[in-house]
C-alpha cells in the first residue's frame, strides 16, 4: 500500500506573507517640526549613532550594538528630550511666587480689641 502524495504549496504565497517592509530612516524633528528632516547615521564599527536635523541642526549621539536600528536612536532621542524637559521644570521656581510677605491674619475675638 502506498502513501498519499502531499499537496504542494506555492512558494510565492508563503514568501509574500513573510516579507517585511523596511523601517523609516528619516523622521520628524521634535524642535522645528519639519517632516523627514532628521536623519540617523549608524556606525556599527565605531559603536556610535548620530542623529541630525538638517533644518535646525539639532544633534544627538548614542551608543549602538549590532541590533540597533535608526528608529531605536530616534526613540532614545525623544526619551532624552522628555527627560531634559522634566528635569528643567523641576529646578524652576513657581511662576506665581511673590517676594512680599503676606499680612498677618486678624482673628475675631482676639485680646487686642
Q: Tell me: the pLDDT tens digits for 26-45? A: 999 999 999 999 999 999 99
Q: Tell me: the pLDDT tens digits for 53-87? A: 999 999 999 999 999 999 999 999 999 999 999 98
* Separation CA 55–CA 19 (nearest Å): 34
Burial state string for 28-62 with b = 16 or more CB within 10 A and e = fewer than 16:
ebbeeeeeebbebebeeeeeebebbbeeeebebeb
> In 1-113, where does DSSP find H-type helix?
11-18, 70-90
pTM higher than the cut 0.85: no
Amino acid at each position: 500500500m502506498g502513501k498519499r502524495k502531499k499537496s504542494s504549496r506555492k512558494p510565492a504565497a508563503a514568501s509574500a506573507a513573510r516579507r517585511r517592509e523596511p523601517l523609516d530612516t528619516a523622521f520628524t524633528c521634535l524642535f522645528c517640526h519639519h517632516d523627514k528632516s532628521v536623519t540617523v547615521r549608524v556606525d556599527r564599527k565605531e559603536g556610535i549613532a548620530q542623529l541630525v536635523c538638517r533644518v535646525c541642526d539639532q544633534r544627538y549621539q548614542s551608543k549602538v550594538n549590532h541590533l540597533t536600528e535608526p528608529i531605536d536612536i530616534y526613540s532614545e532621542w525623544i526619551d532624552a528630550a522628555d527627560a531634559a524637559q522634566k528635569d528643567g521644570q523641576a529646578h524652576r521656581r513657581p511662576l506665581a511666587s511673590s517676594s512680599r510677605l503676606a499680612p498677618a491674619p486678624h482673628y475675631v475675638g482676639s485680646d487686642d480689641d
